[in-house]
């Protein structure tokens, strides 16, 4: 199956190419918003505060981004485009050229690290629950996981299984474990590798799990040091170490 195409998230359908002055104004507004995030956190980003920081009228900000969520999503746009380029056309194991199970492992690790770095901003930009799963970027992520699962475990329900894997990577889930429970990110990374190994393990005719799909006899987590994206960066610690209390 062919790779999905890179989504063009920055411009709406009615503005395929911003005029030079409009592009400069948009960049200035985003720079002002980024400064506010750096200085005050995502909660400090309001339409009024961005307008004041950029020395423009509040109406200019609303016309450009629609609302606060639109502004925050525009801030995330750049990193989303980089992430998409990496898993659609970048080097393996995240990009094409690696076995599907290795790409699944790498996708989750890269997504977890990106979410941890942008956690406050991603939480603030979360759409309403009824719209959460129709966001174009999330549809692309889910479709990409479904494609890899189709290759790794052809007899699985790829769409539902992809959505299940997406749930592990939700910003609210990462926030709960890392911020509210104090769990180290490395433990979440190790959990992702274990989850991928379990869901991609084929069953023998008797219905018992066999070797991980696509890499018979291999350790589903790979060998330490194989690739900086394909492995957790540190030991995940022992269960019961207090991270989940």
pLDDT digits (tens, 9 = 90+) for 82-135: 999 999 999 999 999 999 999 999 999 999 999 998 898 888 888 888 888 888
Q: What percent of the chain has pLDDT over 90?
A: 51
Q: What gap in Å lies between CA 120 and CA 75, rounded to an integer?
A: 12
105: closest CA among 236, 234, 237, 229?
229
- Buried/exposed 76-96: b ≥16 CB within 10 Å, e otherwise: bbeebbebbebbbebeebbbe
Q: Which domains does the chain have, with CATH numbers?
A: 19-66 (1.10.10), 68-238 (1.10.357)
pLDDT at residue 69 in the model: 83
Burial of 97 (0-12, 13-18, 19+ CB in 10 A): exposed
pTM over 0.85? The answer is no
pLDDT tens track for 34-92 = 888 878 888 888 999 999 999 999 999 999 999 988 898 888 888 899 999 999 999 99
Burial of 238 (0-12, 13-18, 19+ CB in 10 A): exposed
């Amino acid at each position: 199956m062919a790779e999905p195409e890179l989504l063009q998230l920055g411009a709406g359908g009615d503005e395929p190419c911003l005029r030079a002055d409009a592009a400069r104004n948009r960049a200035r507004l985003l720079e002002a918003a980024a400064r506010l995030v750096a200085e005050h956190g995502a909660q400090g980003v309001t339409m009024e505060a961005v307008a004041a920081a950029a020395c423009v009228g509040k109406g200019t900000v609303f016309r450009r981004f629609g609302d606060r969520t639109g502004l925050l999503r525009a801030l995330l746009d750049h990193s989303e485009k980089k992430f998409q380029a990496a898993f659609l056309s970048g080097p393996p194991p995240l990009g094409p050229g690696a076995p599907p199970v290795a790409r699944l492992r790498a996708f989750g690790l890269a997504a977890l690290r990106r979410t941890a770095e942008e956690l406050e901003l991603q939480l603030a930009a979360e759409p309403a629950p009824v719209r959460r799963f129709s966001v174009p970027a999330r549809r692309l992520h889910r479709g990409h996981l479904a494609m890899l699962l189709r290759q790794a475990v052809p007899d699985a329900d790829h769409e539902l299984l992809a959505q299940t894997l997406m749930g592990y990577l939700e910003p609210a889930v990462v926030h709960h474990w890392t911020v509210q429970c104090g769990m180290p990110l490395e433990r979440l990374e190790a959990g992702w590798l274990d989850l991928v190994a379990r869901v991609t393990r084929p069953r023998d005719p008797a219905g018992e799990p066999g070797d991980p799909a696509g890499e018979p006899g291999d350790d589903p987590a790979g060998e330490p040091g194989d690739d900086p994206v394909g492995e957790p960066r540190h030991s995940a610690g022992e269960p019961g170490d207090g991270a989940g209390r």
